[in-house]
Amino acid sequence: MIRFYGDIGVCPHNYSLVFNCKIYPHIGLISQFMMENQTFIAEITDPEMTANEFYHSIPCFIQILEKHGYIGTTLKLAKHALTALYLFLDIHALGYHPGIMWIWFDEIRKTMGSSWLHWRRILKFYESFAASGDIDGNRKYMYKTSGFEGLPSWCQEAITGLLEQKRREFREAGTIRTYRYSCISFCHFLISKGFKNFESLSPAIIKEYAVRDKHKTFKGRATRFVIVRAFLRYLDEYGYTKMHHLDECLISGTAPEERIIDILSDEQMEKIERYRSEHHSPVELRDIAIVLLGLRMGFRSYDILSLRFQDIDWNKRQISIVMKKTKTQINLPMPVEVGNALYMYIMSGRPQVDTEYIFLKSKAPYGKLSGKVCTNALYRILPERRSVKGGGFHVTRRTFATNLLRNHAGIDAVMDALGHRDPTSVMKYLLLDEERIQQCGLSLESAGILMKEAWHEV
């Protein structure tokens, strides 16, 4: 009845929404919020849209979610969550503002039970939609304030300058993140010691920082110190510090380390073949294609996840890519089993989405894959690899190189297949070529050792 009266204009339309028993517990009352949150909301005087404009934007947002492949529960929750937010805004005569939305979410989170993570992602999607008119399903959204944002301006300015320098050097995004975290850690240490700028940095404080480093491995410790040394050189070069050459106070080197090459055993190779013949779900077909690209063609994980339809020449049965790590273009023949695995995934396992990338997420939004997808694919086929230290996806590339050598391929051929420019990176695989290793043995006679009887009576 109230909905009818709302439709004909006798009473506000939102009256009927308030009486929805599923929405009412999630509306919230601002008078019950923490005092600092109430104060923060009161200070927001520039909302991005009115409550009514926000409410009328919800159907458009739902359509965007549908366009990205979301169905069922996600669409229902999106409508439910945003309707609850609308009622909160309308009841308290507020407009939509991201800051208000997140305070509201934090205050009513206890009413959401275990679904609060889903609520949070929906609200993050809406924040993106309100700002740009669309959502980015492939983006990894950040929900917490980063350590960088909590730093004073004198730290932020110096860190930003160093990171921009590294970007101009074409460093990878992962390398930039590592630099960022290490510099933030160093600045937090300085702040904890009462520093308000970099001018008074001294060898003593650098030494104290080194002593307090909590890395458990020499490699982790050395990596952190390499970055901090670069940061100290940057500070010196641009006049942030009074003392020069503070970077020399940190020793960042480690002893060279040689490891025995780990490759897949014959039994594990047979297990992969059995898995291929017995498993046919969409994710399993994707796993098989990914693992075979690493095992039969030696592709790195990020090159596999970046593989596009235009990279494959089905008529010539070859794949051409520019390797991300070395920026080297390689053209490799595509083995029949790899071609079959790709075809099976594309036809029977891949979501029917118009995008250039071959490997996609199995659930909406159907975007390009990232992260440790390739390693997880290998683990699903060979669970025992989880317990192997350093037993990630790169083992497929090592196995590929070793098998090439075992099949009498030359060093140059292996280098070309791997996209390497330096032969020393290939030499380590020779250790596993038992047949040719035996041919390298020297006789005792050629080494100057004579085989004579050495028995002496006592």
pLDDT, residue 5, reads: 43
Count other Cβ atoms within 10 Å, centred on residue 305: 20
Residue closest to 175 by CA, chosen among 157, 162, 186: 162
pLDDT, residue 441, reads: 63
**Measured distance CA(222)–CA(225) in Å, rounded:** 5
List, in order of start, the domains of the chain with CATH numbers: 2-132 (no CATH), 153-249 (1.10.150.130), 266-437 (1.10.443.10)
Written as six digits, the tokens of 233 are 């050189």
Written as six digits, the tokens of 457 are 């009576």
Per-residue b/e over 225-239, b at no fewer than 16 CB within 10 Å?
Answer: bbbbbbbbbbbbeee
pLDDT, residue 8, reads: 46
DSSP one-letter code for 325: T
Give alpha helix (H) positions in 238-326. Answer: 266-278, 282-297, 301-305
Written as six digits, the tokens of 36 are 């600092």
Answering whether pTM is above 0.75, one says no
DSSP one-letter code for 349: T
| Coil/strand/helix, residue 411 | helix
Please name every residue paired with 313 in a beta bridge, in sequence order, or none if there are none. Answer: 318
- The residues, any chain, with a CB within 8 Å of residue 332's CB and separated by 6 or more, are 297, 298, 318, 319, 320, 417
Count other Cβ atoms within 10 Å, centred on residue 112: 17
**Measured distance CA(67)–CA(49) in Å, rounded:** 24
Give phi and psi for 266, each to the nearest 5.
-60, -35
Please give the chain's pLDDT, 458 residues, in tens.
444 444 545 445 555 555 555 776 888 899 999 888 888 888 888 889 999 999 999 999 999 999 888 888 999 999 999 999 999 998 899 999 998 999 999 999 888 888 899 999 999 999 999 999 998 766 666 665 557 777 889 999 999 999 999 988 888 888 898 999 999 999 999 999 999 999 999 999 999 998 888 777 777 888 899 999 999 999 999 999 999 999 998 876 555 566 667 889 999 999 999 999 999 999 999 999 999 999 999 999 999 999 999 999 999 999 999 988 878 889 999 999 999 999 999 999 999 888 999 999 998 888 888 889 999 999 999 999 998 887 899 999 989 988 888 887 877 888 888 887 777 666 666 555 566 556 666 666 665 666 665 555 54
| Coil/strand/helix, residue 369 | coil
Q: Are 128 and 78 a contacting pair, CB within 8 Å? A: no
pLDDT, residue 442, reads: 62
Residues composing the chain: 458
Q: Are 249 and 231 a contacting pair, CB within 8 Å? A: no
Written as six digits, the tokens of 352 are 């029917």
| Coil/strand/helix, residue 138 | coil
pLDDT, residue 4, reads: 44
pLDDT, residue 234, reads: 95
Q: Are 83 and 13 a contacting pair, CB within 8 Å? A: no
Q: Tokens 């050459």 appear where?
A: 245
How far CA 373 is from CA of 125, 387, 411, in Å, comes to 23, 17, 31
